[in-house]
Amino acid sequence: MQAVPGPDMDIKLNLIAVKTIMRKEVLRVLRIWIQTIVPPAITMTLYFIIFGNLIGRRIGSMDGYDYMQYIAPGLIMMSVITNSYGNVVSSFFGAKFGRHIEEMIISPMSNAAIIVGHVAGGVIRGIFVGMLVTAIALGFTQLEVQHPLIMISMVVLSSIVFALAGFINAVFARKFDDISIVPTFVLTPLTYLGGVFYSISMLPEFWQKVSLANPILYMVNAFRYGILGTSDINIGYAYLIVGVFAVGLFTASLMLLNRGIGIRE
Amino acid sequence: MHALSIKNLRKIYPNGVEALKGIDLEVDAGDFCALLGPNGAGKTTAIGIVCSLVNKTGGSVEIFGHSIDTDLAAAKACIGLVPQEINLNLFDSVLNIVVNQAGYYGIDRKMALERAEQYLTELRLWDKRFAIARTLSGGMKRRLMIARALIHEPRLLILDEPTAGVDIEIRRSMWTYLRRINAEGTTIILTTHYLEEAESLCRHVAIIDDGQIVENARMSTILRKLQREYFILTLRDGLSTAPHLENFESRLLGEGELEVAVDAGQSLNQLFACLSEQNIVVVSLRNKANRLEEFFIGMVERKQANAGSAGA
């Protein structure tokens, strides 16, 4: 018979459960690699060719770096963000739609473990695609990492934030259309306006201030600072904002699961 | 000890439908209990609450003494659920599905693989372990859901119409399997529309109707409540009209088949004595419907009659 979990067993049970979800998520990404890995590689290659190589030559330098070098960190971060988000929203909503989410809901694992497992799956895919895009970028330009710890910590934190956002989207989604609305109408505009392709110092003062309300601006700039050593914003603020988003979104996700929103009738 | 103890359980859905109107139910450890009722009676809602898939409006649920309000993880660890609808990840392999389920219960991968081999073999799915779930037949998917529910070796197994749409051979093999794990100590709660299945397997019956428990007793007690049973007799020689059998109602179904009603208090010996007096030879005898079905139909008919008279 299955042992009944007590305080001592809880941690072990939840660790095994998180590992199980992570493993399942990684296998899912690999199983459907043509949907999960190939498209971002192709899209980012096109960005580098068109924006970096063809148009970038005419733009010249930005903040003292050639345009290809300048946009590379932003494009890497963009792929990490969209893939972390996309992985969790599609996987968790798919489990809801196919009702195999019930496998997890009826089990004794904690709701926090369900969230951590899925977010970890999203982060793994985000980072993996980010590394792939970095490899592609190195085929077009040279990148010498100035602050490796900042680069790594910011990419992981940003990935966590967007994996959590994807999780919340999936919790509320009732049909497949609902999982594409946020990426199309919120995530993409915020990413494009988040300083991936330009320095906000190029904008009029009013739009510079508006841009500061975009969390992706902080992620892209902090990541760019980690690689190139240049940023439009204060790195301390970037950590504070990303940290607040991570804690806030995790808390919100946990509250939603505890109340059974979108999961239990 | 009670495997399941439900007290005053209520559920009102957001649309105002009152699915459960304060039900009480206790299932002893080791029992094999049928939870019966017409469609929409509240069976699946009750099971959903017990398994944490549905939020309750009021009342309490304890599984082996663990309250789902204060000791949820321990309560959940005791339960295995085979739901009514297929809820497998249809894009995953048979082996992954059961091994992952073990992981959700904190069973390490090595042990999960050992148990997966054991349960998939017992349920005749080991050869299909690498098959993707969507390629399985309906019966295989049902058996896979049973293997998945057993992988953490629950003390209480809840099966919500596990044999729906399954052919008779597989259904019988599932019955044998369920009898075996019940004999080994697993408490089982079964909902089914096949009343023959419930009568054959279960020792205890709870009937739920319109969100209320209307019967809750041992199977033998319920069957003793039957006021009338119908038997179909196959006769050696054909008859042109129904014979007059003193104290028994009868009607001719075909040339060689006779339907006879036997009321509570009457015996088959009396019936055969009447038949012998008239030189009618009976070749075989069977129930028109199974006994639990007759009880259930009688209960529904009485309810409808009461509703009709109340409305008149």
H-run or E-run covering B143: helix B138-150
* Mean predicted lDDT score pLDDT of chain B: 90
Does ipTM surpass 0.85 in this model? yes
B216 and B241 belong to one structural domain: no
Q: Is A260 on the interface with B (CB under 8 A)?
A: yes
- How many domains is chain B built from? 2
Provide the pLDDT for residue A243. Answer: 96
| Strand, helix or coil for residue B278 | coil
B308 in any annotated domain: no
A98 touches chain B (CB under 8 A): yes
Of residues A76, A193, A78, A79, the one with CA closest to residue A145: A76
Q: Are residues B198 and B241 in the same domain?
A: no
Task: Kindly list the domain boundaries of chain A, sorted by start residue.
Answer: 8-259
Binary contact (A95, B89; C-beta < 8 A): yes
Count helices and strands (H / E) in chain A.
Answer: 13, 2
Q: Which residue has the higher pLDDT, A27 or B244?
A: A27
Which stretches of A40-154 are assigned E, i.e. beta strand?
61-62, 65-66
Nearest CB to A109; choose among B91, B104, B153: B104
Please tell me if residue B100 touches chain A, with a CB cutoff of 8 Å: yes
Dist. CA B107–CA B105, nearest whole Å: 6
- Say yes or no for a CB contact (<8 Å) between A106 and B81: yes
Q: Which of B13, B79, B104 sits opposite A17 (nearest CB)?
A: B104
Intervals of chain A under pLDDT 70: 1-9
B176 within domain boundaries: yes
Q: Judge if B112 and B17 occupy the same domain.
A: yes
Q: Assess whether pLDDT exceeds 90 at residue B111.
A: yes
B300 in a structural domain: no
Q: Are residues B18 and B129 in the same domain?
A: yes
Domain stops at, among B198, B224, B250: B224
Label residues B260-286 b or e (16+ Cβ within 10 Å = b).
bbbeeeeeeeebeebbeeeebebeeee
Q: What is the largest CA-CA distance in chain B?
A: 72
The residues, ordered by sequence, that sit 6+ positions from B43 with a Cβ below 8 Å of its Cβ are B35, B36, B37, B160, B191, B208
Considering the domain architecture, whether residues B70 and B108 belong to the same structural domain is answered as: yes
Cross-chain residue pair A108–B13, CB shorter than 8 Å: no
**Inter-chain touch B78–A2, beta carbons under 8 Å:** yes
| CATH number, domain with residue B243 | 3.30.70.1560
CATH number at residue B154: 3.40.50.300
| Residue at B298 is within a domain | no
Q: Band the pLDDT of B31: cuts 50, 70, 90.
A: very high
Domain containing residue B259: 228-291
The CA-based dihedral angle spanning residues B162, B164, B167, B168, taken in that order and rounded to the nearest 10 degrees: 70
pLDDT higher than threshold 70 for residue B310: no
Claim to verify: residue B203 and residue B250 sit in the same structural domain:
no
Statement to judge: residues B195 and B268 lie in one domain: no
In a domain, B299, yes or no: no
- Are B248 and B209 members of one domain? no
B311, part of any domain: no
- Average confidence (pLDDT) over B261-265: 83
Question: How far is B263 from B249, CA to CA, in rounded Å?
Answer: 9
pLDDT of residue B55: 93
Residue B296, in any domain of the structure: no
Position B113 scores a pLDDT of 97
Q: Which residues of A touch B107 (CB under 8 A)?
A: 2, 16
